[in-house]
Chains A and B, each alone.
Chain A
Amino acid sequence: MSIYSDSFAAAFGLLATADSDLMEILYLSINVSLLSLALSCSIGLPIGAILAIRQFHGRDALVGIFNALMGLPPVVVGLLVYLHLSRSGPFGWLGLLYTPQAMVIAQMILITPIIIALSCQVLEDMHEGYKDFFDSLVVPKLAALVAYIVDARYSLMTVVLAGFGRAVSEVGAVIIVGGNIDHLTRVMTTAIALETSKGELELALALGFVLLSISLAVNFLAQWLKASAKRRAYV
């Protein structure tokens, strides 16, 4: 299969020459994904934490819903965001459709449930293990939460990475709300979709390799951190 070697060489060439179009797309991809990740985490982690340590009416149902929302089809999210941000939609006056901000919103909707559901699971396990000790010590709820998050940081890192992975690899939503506009809203995945549609399969695959290598780099780093944490039984 020479398509692999050709595409791989093309990917390497693009990266080695720091192809300016590629760099722009790459920059926007990472920028959009990291911003939506940061916002999703700042919303999702506290919600996940509350669900993990608070028992209230409907809590289990909520957890179930967030678990289900992890499987939200990106296209549906894209469509919903489109309908809301469209000039004829309720938030049309914001003029956000076809902007990177719209892509951030769509990605947030996609990954916030992932952050909530997975962090809830992680923190629930922490709570289970630490609860008696913390009750005995009379650790205030907030301090206990901080301790859970600090002690579960390596597991939570995996959660955050799962969110990042989803954000950076997602195409269905961002192509609808971003419009794949050159120099404005084109990201790695929409560029891949575009090149595929132009029949430039080799270039598309090369871009895929670039995207994959980012994912790999990020995940190897995380693996390495986690492995060193495991050696200290911190996981």
Chain B
Amino acid sequence: MLKYKIFAIFCTTFLTGNAVAENTILVQSTTSTKNSGLYDHILPLVKQETGVTVYVVAVGTGAAIKNAMNCDGDVLLVHSRKLEDQFVASGYSKKRYDVMYNDFIIVGPNDDPAGIAEMNDAVAALKKIAVTESRFTSRGDDSGTHGKERSLWKRTGVNQDASSGSWYLETGSGMGATLNTAVGTEAYTLSDRSSWEVHANKSDFKVMVEGDKRLFNPYGVMLIDPVRCPSVNSNGGKAFIDWLISKNGQQAIARFKVAGKQMFFPNAQ
């Protein structure tokens, strides 16, 4: 009998405890914004000021865009300008909005086998890594960061893919997992700044390369087209986006700090 009672309790918890609130949206997001803790900082404000409850699914930019194309979500917030423009051009969204930016950095072990410390030319640094055949871990997962990394390699003229598995290691995983791999194998890697700052398992790793214009990392937000995806909560989604690019939203983003450092720089028009 007890068994049935327990079962009944579960069922009721599931039916009642999960009745999704009326004004709820789901954001398909890149992991960096999520893992940095930015959402924990701004979502209570969103709730307070717009009444919208925001749930976040954090995956790589490529996966987030695919999920959005399947209509699984209401809003897309990622960082790969090229893919975002394609997304809009293919009619999955009416418009892309600038939200904020930060920058990518190359991190590596303290003893710096490739000798790239304090360089500010990312392309030259990668070239040195390739020449010295120092280990480098790549996301390899079609994320925004992965896209940026590939475009940098392209400029070096190095065919890094040919060395995949020897010094060039593709993890096929998120930024955190890739940083763990880099730390574990003493390899260099490209990371967005916020993921690096919040990453706890740094060992003796340091930022090696920063400040290159080509390491610019802009984030964009889009409402998934409600005509294409009737399940989209366009009122909720619009409210969220409007808030993000509003003065309040932009100030809130600027106020978000990790270890005293500002992580994202608002740039909405």
- Where the two chains meet, the residues of B that have a C-beta atom closer than 8 Å to any C-beta of A are 6-7, 10-11, 13-14, 18, 20, 26, 31, 35, 40, 55-58, 67, 69-72, 173-177, 179-180, 183, 198-202, 229, 231
Contact = CB atoms under 8 A, between A and B. Distances in A.
A166 to B, nearest CB: 18
A97 B10 contact: no
B57 A98 contact: yes
Contacts of A151: none
Contact of A199 (B14, B58, B173, B180): B180
Q: Is the interface of A mostly helix, strand, loop or mixed?
A: loop
A202 B200 CA distance: 9
B8 to A, nearest CB: 10
Given A35-B10, A87-B72, A198 B56 contact: no
Interface residues of A, number: 29
Contacts of A180: 57-58
A92 B71 contact: yes
Contacts of B14: 31, 35, 100-101, 104
B202 to A, nearest CB: 7
Given A101-B18, A180-B57, A184-B55, A198 B70 contact: no
Contacts of A89: 70
Contacts of A200: 200-201
A101 B72 CA distance: 16
A86 interface: yes
12 contacts: A31-B10, A34-B6, A35-B10, A86-B72, A87-B231, A98-B57, A98-B72, A100-B18, A101-B18, A181-B26, A181-B55, A198-B198
A156 to B, nearest CB: 13
In the A-B complex, the 10 residue pairs with the closest CB atoms: A197-B176, A199-B201, A87-B71, A179-B57, A199-B199, A88-B70, A199-B200, A86-B70, A200-B200, A181-B55
B72 A181 contact: no
B231 A196 contact: no
A98 B231 CA distance: 14
A197 B13 contact: no
A197 B177 contact: yes
A15 interface: no
Nearest to A88: B70
B231 A92 contact: yes
Interface in A62-87: 86-87
Interface of A: 31, 34-35, 38, 86-89, 92, 95, 97-101, 104, 179-182, 184, 194, 196-202
B199 A34 contact: no
Contacts of B70: 86-89
A184 B54 CA distance: 11
A120 to B, nearest CB: 22
A198 B176 contact: yes
A105 to B, nearest CB: 12
A201 B200 CA distance: 8
A197 B35 contact: yes
B200 A198 contact: yes
A38 B200 contact: no
Contacts of B202: 199
A199 B258 CA distance: 15
A38 B198 CA distance: 40
Contacts of B229: 87
B13 A31 contact: yes
Contacts of B201: 199-201
Contacts of A88: 69-72
